[in-house]
Each structure stands twice: as structure tokens, then as C-alpha cells.
Amino acid sequence: MENRIKNFIQEHNLIIEEPIICATSGGVDSVCLINILHNLGYKVVLAHVNHHKRAQSEIEEKAMKDLASKLNCPFELLEYYYDGQDNFHNDSHNARYDFFKKLCIKYNTTTIASAHHLDDQIETILMKLMEGSNLYGYGGISICYNDGKFRVIRPLLCVTKDELYDYAKRMNLEYFEDSSNQEDDFLRNRLRHHVIPLLKKECADLANKTLEYNILVKEAFDYIRKDSIKYLNESDNKIEIESFNKLDIALKKDIISLLLERNDIRKNNNIILAILKMLDNSFGTKKLKLNNDNVFVRSYNYAYLEKTNENNIDSISVNKDDIVIYNNKYKFYFSEALPNSNAKYIRLCYNKLKLPFIIRSKAEGDTIKLGIGNKKVSRILIDAKVRKDDRISIPIITDSENEILWVYNFAKSEDVVASKQNGDIYFICEVL
């Protein structure tokens, strides 16, 4: 197995600078990784993060320190304490990679090695297919990721988890298992425990077929991405619509994807398609609200990103030609055509609209006028057995005079119900 990994490293030119900062959690994957790189003659630094989330964290930290001593390599430790202010997985991921990058500077290298393997690759590709992504995302985990300053390499993406267990047993390596990996609370674990074993029964060579798929998709992506970078660099990150619409659809999608990436904006296929729809040959000004206070603006023959002036991200205004993404989950827009069967909507009379509409979260004292009289929005959600923590995320739609028209998915106002038969415009919500 070591020779196969050595050939994989050489084939993809993974290691061009040493020492290698090895992200070593203490699990079988990372323990195998640092041992293999050491045995292949590379200089390594053992970088361990103690998340202080489990009782055995201190034991794992000591074991990794002992392993570094055994390998005669530097041991570096990050003491991480979650402050509860952000998503734990995102926050800890960012903290880990900030730590690894600082170590690169300390040891005068650019190379970080992580222990992702072929089973991780299968899980990731399946999740991307289920969630929606762009060409790069559908390809799964990159063998090498280069951000211009640092390189994250994955030398184990040519071997399976079972091979790593076998290697650890043969080499008598000490490693630790995270008990949460056995739970079915997360999608990745459910795929790992129930779906992938069935796929492997149907295709015994699933791991290697996945590797082939990953390489082919990433090669295609790299080819397209070069033109996307050239386009946006030459246009100062703006889209000239007439020339843009003459491009191949694959390139158009990736230009949009790259523009969102450059601004750290969440993307998925639905958002990319919504932007493409804005960039057709019609005229006028349209806006699409995105996350991180960004708005995608189409103004006649140009399109670009700008920061919104709204201070409250939970409150978004919508005019007739706008397409708005609310809370990264709901897409709202007006249409004169009946929406597809998967979308929810209210039907309205255009000449009675009080624009702009406002989409916001529930406020204290909110009431909606129903046929039986006014009713508190909080009571509607309580009666519908919506969990207290989830109520704040339910979109409330009002007109420009703050009259509540729609508690999404739960109640429509008396006026909205009255216009159900003779309304001539739809206000539509699609779940992304």
C-alpha cells in the first residue's frame, strides 16, 4: 500500500515542498497517513487539535505527542474551545486550517496533508449529488487544493478505509475511534452505514471507479475554470450580458459560480439557475438577494454583485421584477404564470398590490387578518406544533404597509383568500 501511495503522490505531483504539516486527529486515517509519509522518507510535522469535546481528548493528545516523539518529528498542538457563537463544524474547521496555515509559515512550507480516503470520497460525491452543486463540487474531494498560498494534499485518496485498518493492524499503530461515527444522526453516517454497502455489493470496484470519476470531473472543471478566471479578470468581476449569453452553458454556469466564490457567497445549482434566468435576453433591472449581505444586480446590459444597504438580513424587500433568496432556503418572486406543482404561492390582484412586499421573521405581537377575525401569528405556529426554535425561521410576508398577507405554509390573510379566484399575479415561494 505504501508503494501505491508513493506512486499516487508522484503521479499527481503532490509534494513539492517539505516539511509536510500533517493534520493528525488520532483516528486511524490520520495516524496511518503520518506513518506512511514518514516511512516514505518525507519530513513531517504532527499537527493535532484538541477540541475538548470528549472525555478521551486528553488521552488522544498524549498519544499523538508520543507518536511524534516516536517518529522524531515536531509536535504542534491547538487547544480549541468552542464558544457557541457559530456552527461548531464550520467554526472548528476554520480554526483548524488557520492553525495549519500558521504552521506552514512557521516551518517555511506550503504543504498541508489531510487523511481523506476513497470511502470519504464516495460519501462526499453522494452528498453533493443530493444537495446540488457545480461541476467542481460534483467531483468530490480534490486530490490537491491550491489557494495560491497553501496546498492541501490528500495522498490517501487512492486507498480505502478497510485498507487503512489493515495497515494499522500490520504496523501495530495506536489509534482512536470517535463514537459519534457510529450514530445515524448525520447524513454522511447514514450513507456510510446503509447506502454505500449496497452500492459496493452491486459494484465491487466502486472505490476505484469513484477515483476515476473524481479525476475526470476535476480535469474538466480545471479546463473550464481557466476561461472563467480569464473572463472575470478581464471584466473586473462584472458580466457583460450580450457577450455572456453567447458563451457555452457550461462556461456560463462556472463564471457565475466563480463570481459567487470570490465573494464568499453560498451557492447551489438552484441559485446558479436563478441567476442564469436573470441574464437572459430580456431588459430591465432585476435583483437577487444572496447571503452575506450581497445582492446580484442585473441592470440593462451588465450584471454584478453589490452589498445591500439593508441592515437587517432577516428583512428583505421584493418588487415585481426581483428574485429574492431568503435565509438561504426560500426563493421568492412574482409571476403571471401558474407556478410548478412543487412551489407554494398566493394569488393576488396586481392593481391592488402595495409594493414592495417585505419578507421577514416573526415579530412580537404579529397578527394576521383571517375570515374569523385577527389571530396572533405565534398562536398559529403553536397550534401547528412548530418547535419554538423553528418559529423564527418561518417567512412572514407583508405588504408595504406592514399588513401580513402570508405566514408561509401556515396561513393566508382574508384579502389573499378573497383574491384566490380572480387574481392575475402570483407571489411564489420555492424551497431550495
For 146-160, the pLDDT digits (tens) are 887 899 999 999 999
* pLDDT of res. 88: 57
Has residue 83 got a pLDDT over 70? no
pTM of the model: 0.66
Has residue 30 got a pLDDT over 90? yes
The ranges of the chain annotated as CATH 3.40.50.620 are 2-219
* pLDDT of res. 310: 47
Residue with cell 488522544: 60
- Number of H helices and E strands in the chain, helices first, is 16, 21
Hey, what's the torsion of the CAs at 85, 87, 92, 94, to 10 degrees?
Answer: -90
Per-residue model confidence as pLDDT tens digits over 91-128: 778 889 999 999 999 999 999 999 999 999 999 999 98
Confidence of residue 288 (pLDDT cuts 50, 70, 90): confident
* pLDDT of res. 309: 54
Confidence of residue 403 (pLDDT cuts 50, 70, 90): very high
Instruction: Determine what percent of the chain is predicted with pLDDT higher than 90.
Output: 59
* pLDDT of res. 406: 96
CA distance readout (Å), 13 to 7, 8, 20, 153, 226:
10, 8, 14, 10, 20
CA 331 to chain centre: 17
Q: When comparing pLDDT for 311 and 427, which is higher?
A: 427
CA angle 394, 363, 427 (to 5 degrees): 45
Residue with cell 443530493: 130
Provide the mean pLDDT of the chain. 89
Contacts of residue 247, defined as CB under 8 A and 6 or more positions apart, other chains included, come to: 231, 255
CA distance readout (Å), 130 to 85, 122, 127, 187, 270:
28, 13, 5, 10, 13
What is the C-alpha separation between 395 and 408, in angstroms, rounded?
6
Average pLDDT over residues 213-223: 93
Per-residue model confidence as pLDDT tens digits over 127-139: 988 877 778 888 9
Give the strand pairing for 44-50 and 20-23: parallel
Per the CATH hierarchy, to which homologous superfamily does domain 2-219 belong? HUPs (3.40.50.620)
Confidence of residue 217 (pLDDT cuts 50, 70, 90): very high
* pLDDT of res. 45: 97
Helix ranges restricted to H, 114-262: 118-131, 135-138, 161-170, 187-190, 196-202, 206-234, 241-244, 249-262
Residue 296's φ and ψ, nearest 5 degrees, are -90, 120
Average pLDDT over residues 282-287: 69
Which residues sit opposite 326 in a β-bridge? 330
